[in-house]
Structure 1
Amino acid sequence: MQRRYTLPVLLWLAACGEEPQSREPSRPPPRVGIVEVRPRPTPLAFTYGGRVTATRQTEVRARVGGILLRRAFTEGSEVREGDVLFLIDPAPYQAAVNLATAQVQEAEATTQRARRDQQRTAALLRAAAGSEKDRDDAVFALAQAEAALAAASARLATSRLELGYSTVTAPIAGFTSLEAMPEGSLVGTGEANSLLTRITQLDPVQVAFAFHLPDLAALSAGDGPDLQAEVVLGPDGGPQGRVSFTEATVDPATGTVRARATLPNAGHRLRPGQFVRIRVSGRLRDAIRIPQSAVQQDIQGPFAYVLGPDSRAERRALRLGRLLGEEWVIEEGLRAGDRVIAEGVAKVTEGAVVDAQEARP
């Protein structure tokens, strides 16, 4: 016979548990995405502060004294090697050349006469018509004349050299500075009054900076032939070159290693003395990288969940290296072949069973 219950009876039976109890269905394990750890050659980039220096910079100085007659360039303009820059009054030096030329001609004539006299005295001595003293005197006179000719020739060469120095040319190509002495000034050859201008070469340029020792060690572990360098000037980047010098010793005061990069500067965007940011890049051999989303942080430090036996999540403490884009370089804590949970990490607890699938690239 079928039972009929009124509402109060049903409520009493439910409270007493006479009705069969319904069980909630168990939740499925959370679905997560995993990545398998594989050591990969990893590019490294470190950014430092640096100062731009000229590859070549020289002072243009007067080699002879005199009145500065003319400046033949526009201050701040670009000049080529060998271009005329200044003209010092050449008249005294031209007169010295003329005088030295006359002295050379006179010495040549004296030498020719002494040579003929020596030849005659030698012939007379062979014919028993002369004396040995006459021969010796003639030989001595010829030697004196030849020495005087050599001295006159040296004075002529010096005079011509000084005359050439009266026209001051550019020793290198580059950009000139302001003139140090105006036209009409009396220039000399001393340290105080010989500077005329400076020339600075702007292409290429160098950037002086200092490596942090751990950074240099990481970069030196790579297999690339050179360390590449780029000046950070904005979204469009800047000139790119290479590290051309690295000091062999460490500065004991700062723990850094001095270095220098050489970069092209065709557009002259970099100027000597300018402070810039320079990014140095190389390659780190066989580094372990995992997505940034896989790394968690708590009071014990950074960690990640690794898929263990029976699809259970295991906690691994990590020692992090550099953040490269959206990936962390892992110094310690993971091994090749580990499967790290990179997606759905927020739903995972230590020891929980997970439904693991390959993470999206």
Structure 2
Amino acid sequence: MRSIMKLEKKTLLPLVVGASVFTLGFFAMSAAGAGTSPTDGSGQPRAAGPIVETAAATLAERSYQIEAPGRLQAWEELTLVAEVSGKIIYVNPKFTLGGRLQKGDVLFRINPADYVAERSRAEAAVESAEATLVQAKHANRRQQDLVKQGVVSEAAKDTAIANLAIAEAGVSQAKSQLQRATENFARTTIVAPFPTLVAQETASVDTYVAPGQALATLLDTRAGTLVAGLSPEKAAAVSRMLKAGSGRLKAVAKTNSGSVGSGVLTGYIERFAPKVDEASRSALVVAVFPDAFDPANDGRIFANDFMTLEITVQSTDTVWQIPSGTVRKGQFIWVVDNNTLQRRDVTVVRNLGDTALVTSSIPLEGAQILMTLLSEESEGLKVRTLPSSMLAAR
């Protein structure tokens, strides 16, 4: 009897262990299933794939600003060089670094004594040559008459004609020398060729200068120009605005992180350059700022300084505002449609930091735009979007 009871205990032991394992497995699977329920919060079947977060596009104004970096230049920058040699005898007190002068103001003078003497000699040479010409003309007429009378030979007439030609050439040469002497004398007085801001100068009284010697760098203060490179999309937008013919297209130049100055300029777009920039393969646009070098901007605006060009344009397409991080490679976004990724090509018209303004050939109204960055993204990829209740909790 005792042996039979032992046998029954041995026989029941595996059954008890098996039942325990089955029960634990059932509860484990139930617990696991609670985290991966085949239905979402609304009771609908849940799609397979990674859980992603999406954002909606909002409608933006069709007018927007495009920006491009550039460098502010003077309307004209001139390196002033001496054209004649001599000692400087006068320098305008305003002809100093940062000095301002009007067009026609005398900048400095070179001792003209030698050039006055040269011009006097040239004037005397002209008078002498003209007197010789008068004699040659009279002699030629006499010889012509004598030849007709048969008094002199044809050779004498030819000599008179040759002497007349030589006299005429002498007058031309003397007048050329007088013109040169007059120009050299004028070059001893150097005047401002335009409203001038002195950017650099080395001239001083009693300094001897030679032809070709650089004496100053002058900036034309009539206006400043800024040349900036635009991408094809930005260039097309600006070109469209210029062709609209609604007056001058407004432009603004602002300082940036690379600027020395601190001012803001208002001007207009003048034109496009005829060639693209070879390095960046961008279209070059020229903006003009009439007040760039006004005295009021001293210490705030500088020639050759980096500035950002800002142009307000109007889009012919609907403009949408979306999170910047949703744009892939600056060319497209992913839209979640029926739990499936679909590519939508976009054109970024302006980056605002956290958000971007884009246009798209397909309206983005109501679209769920993928925000989550997946390790693999492809057309038709199945994903799961976070329910609105979970988004609110986050």
TM-score range, shorter chain: 0.5 to 0.7
> 1:201 maps to what in 2?
220
> 1:211 maps to what in 2?
230
Q: How does 1:1-361 map to 2 (within 5 A)?
A: 42-74=62-94, 75=96, 76-190=98-212, 194-217=213-236, 224-225=244-245, 228-233=250-255, 238-242=265-269, 244-246=271-273, 248-249=275-276, 251=278, 254=280, 256-264=282-290, 265=292, 266=294, 267-268=296-297, 269-289=300-320, 321=348, 329=358, 331=360, 334=363
Measured in 1, the distance between the counterparts of 2:351 and 2:134 equals 85
- SS in structure 2 of the partner of residue 279 of structure 1: strand
Q: Which structure shows the higher strand fraction? A: 1
CA spacing shift, 1:348–1:296, aligned 2, 3 Å: farther
Deviation at 1:195, TM superposition (A): 1.4
Q: CA RMSD in A?
A: 4.0
**TM-score for the superposition, normalised by structure 2:** 0.61
Measured in 1, the distance between the counterparts of 2:273 and 2:169 equals 55
Q: Which structure shows the higher helix fraction? A: 2
Any gaps of 5 or more consecutive residues in structure 1? 1-36, 306-314, 350-361
Deviation at 1:203, TM superposition (A): 3.6
Measured in 2, the distance between the counterparts of 1:281 and 1:147 equals 65
Q: CA contact under 8 A between 2:335 and 2:367: conserved in structure 1?
A: no
- SS in structure 2 of the partner of residue 285 of structure 1: coil
Measured in 2, the distance between the counterparts of 1:179 and 1:248 equals 34
Aligned length: 292
- 1:157-206 deviation per Cα after TM superposition (whole angstroms, max 9, x unaligned): 1111111111111222221234223221211113xxx2121210234111
- 1:207-227 deviation per Cα after TM superposition (whole angstroms, max 9, x unaligned): 233324444455556674575
Deviation above 3 Å: which 4+ runs of structure 1? 212-228, 233-238, 246-251, 253-260, 266-269, 301-305, 315-330, 338-341, 346-349
Give the residue type in structure 2 aligned to 1:52. L
- 1:2-44 deviation per Cα after TM superposition (whole angstroms, max 9, x unaligned): xxxxxxxxxxxxxxxxxxxxxxxxxxxxxxxxxxx99x97113
- SS in structure 2 of the partner of residue 286 of structure 1: coil
CA spacing shift, 1:166–1:243, aligned 2, 3 Å: closer
Measured in 2, the distance between the counterparts of 1:254 and 1:182 equals 44
Identity %: 20
